[in-house]
Structure 1
């Protein structure tokens, strides 16, 4: 007998959101680790609101905001408006964020209002550090062998926003710039004044950009340090040296792998001064020759580092295809750094989940 095409709304229901999420869904293990990290951040969240003495209604729980921001990265959601819309009708997203079926979803402007607060208290950085600590406790980090690299992050600005700093072209149309040489010394973006013109190669156009820097552990390719900076020709090596200083110890020699862009005497010297052996790819075409000689390249460890260092490209590829790093939709170095750090935290969580499938003891 053919069934009727219709349905009746029940006045009451006993179905839980938990029942809609498959037991083997990837978000289940990720949510456990996220909640573990957020629990450790409870004191920081309390400090964020201690200075707010105006009273009024309770704010939206920062834990829910952080879970929602992670969803935006994990599911390639383009904007906060679309994120709020998805949370409103997507039961999986409601479950992950921590909302019941009856809970109302906040307005998208809540993310903008709380972004500065999260930056001021470094909440996203603390979440990222928590993912690193979880990997450390599970024995997934070597703590001895690292790789470092940088990537170009396109700013939320266009060529039309580049105007002369002295204001001499204020009367010209924004699109009338062809044939005029531009440089960071003479021009600045009116949309994002902290971005800088930068190009990947001589064949690529110079675009308003930032640089993202990542330090990864060679054992499983997990990210252990991340920073954003303004785009210039020396930022990659300078920031890399700063990140390496955070993991260096005077009693244990460590190694760092890097591509030819890091084959400079200054970077190699900076690494050796902090007891880190630079396994840098040799740039034989550089004027004066490579800064790395046979004393380093003759060892098997150098060859192994050259192979393993390519794993660091996976986090950049993931961040630009799944995550929002191809072109960030925020302006200012602090906000770009927050987006980059959140993306790498999400990447670490996905790697932890993958490793848990291969090594069930990791999930414990």
Structure 2
């Protein structure tokens, strides 16, 4: 007998959200670890909020929602709120009941300066790595380092001479180069009222620009869209783009990211970030560590600083004038580190294809750094179910 296609709305629901999620769904393991990590940061959250006044959205829910946005490649807070409104899986992960109202998208944007900061992202990553089920997966002695370019939310047309970028002029906006209004003709100064039936023509803001033959550099030019973005190319054959440089420190056993940072792009950023991340991860440590890296890190100053920090530089050798000699390469651990260091490209690839870091949608180095750090923490969480199953 054929069933009926009639839809009957139910006034009450007696099924809990917990029963809707399959028992072996990967998000269950991720949610348990995230909840434990956020509980360990309870004192940190208390310091961020006043003791009196109207109750706000719980910071734990805002952070879970941000992790979901990264894990499911949701492009904006508005789309995230739409998903949380009708997606039971998202409601369960964030901690909303079936009848709870979702917050407006501006709640996340207004809390970015207080809650979704670089410092908080690093504390979230550290709390996750210190979890009782995650800590045994980590290596304490062997690490790898690398950097990648994160394209800025700015077009090449916004890369203008610094005096114009400071004044805020815009291509196609009709502003004069000095920021003043364009000259007007005698006909423009007429007091005749415009005809309301005539629709004014809008001037295109995306005007054609020919950069051929023009010399532009970070010393003379800056982006009007994001003043902290820099024009940079990482390899000789690639084109220069407005970007930032993301850095990650990976432990070699499971390939989890233990430190992340983001800086302005320049030729020395990778070396400085590597030293800073090592200091943050092992402050004052006297244990012998190993650090694997590609040949871009093969410089005498960087290698000498690593050895001064009691870190063995397992850096790939340049074809000529390498700072790595037989004292390092003769050990079998050097070859093993060189094989394991290539695994750091996997988190970078995940962050760009899934986490939305191929081109950031945030402006300003602080916001981009906070998002990059949280994205690398989410990458660790995405790999956790398989690592624990293995």
TM superposition score normalised by structure 2: 0.86
Partner of 1:141: 138
Partner of 1:301: 333
Partner of 2:359: 327
Alignment CA distance shift 1:204-1:44 (3 Å): same
SS of residue paired to 1:115: coil
Structure 1 position 85 matched with structure 2 position 82? yes
Structure 1 position 234 matched with structure 2 position 268? yes
Q: In structure 1, how many angstroms separate the alpha carbons of the residues matched to 2:376 and 2:39?
A: 20
Partner of 1:361: none
- Structure number with the higher helix fraction is 1
Partner of 1:264: 299
Cα offsets for 1:119-168 (capped at 9, x unmatched): 55822221111112127864111210000000000011111111111239
**More deviation in 206-215 or 5-14?**
5-14
Deviation at 1:31, TM superposition (A): 0.3
Alignment of 1:311-350 (within 5 A): 311-350=343-382
Alignment CA distance shift 1:156-1:135 (3 Å): farther
Deviation at 1:19, TM superposition (A): 1.6
- Does the 8 A contact of 2:306 with 2:313 survive in 1? yes
Q: In structure 2, how many angstroms separate the alpha carbons of the residues matched to 1:93 and 1:178?
A: 46
Q: In structure 2, how many angstroms separate the alpha carbons of the residues matched to 1:204 and 1:354?
A: 35
Structure 1 position 181 matched with structure 2 position 209? no
Q: How many aligned residue pairs are there?
A: 352
Structure 1 position 215 matched with structure 2 position 249? yes
Tell me the C-alpha RMSD between the 2 structures: 1.8
Partner of 1:15: 15
Q: In structure 2, how many angstroms separate the alpha carbons of the residues matched to 1:24 and 1:116?
A: 36
- Does the 8 A contact of 2:29 with 2:385 survive in 1? yes
Q: In structure 2, how many angstroms separate the alpha carbons of the residues matched to 1:112 and 1:137?
A: 31
SS of residue paired to 1:188: strand
Alignment CA distance shift 1:135-1:13 (3 Å): closer
Structure 2 unaligned regions, length at least 5: 170-174, 178-204
Q: In structure 2, how many angstroms separate the alpha carbons of the residues matched to 1:101 and 1:120?
A: 30
- Does the 8 A contact of 1:263 with 1:282 survive in 2? yes
Q: In structure 2, how many angstroms separate the alpha carbons of the residues matched to 1:334 and 1:202?
A: 28
Q: In structure 1, how many angstroms separate the alpha carbons of the residues matched to 2:118 and 2:157?
A: 34
Alignment of 1:1-364 (within 5 A): 1-50=1-50, 55=53, 57-119=54-116, 122-134=119-131, 138-167=135-164, 171=176, 175-179=208-212, 180-248=214-282, 249-285=284-320, 289-358=321-390
Q: 1 or 2 for the larger relative contact order (CA 8 Å, sep ≥6)?
A: 2
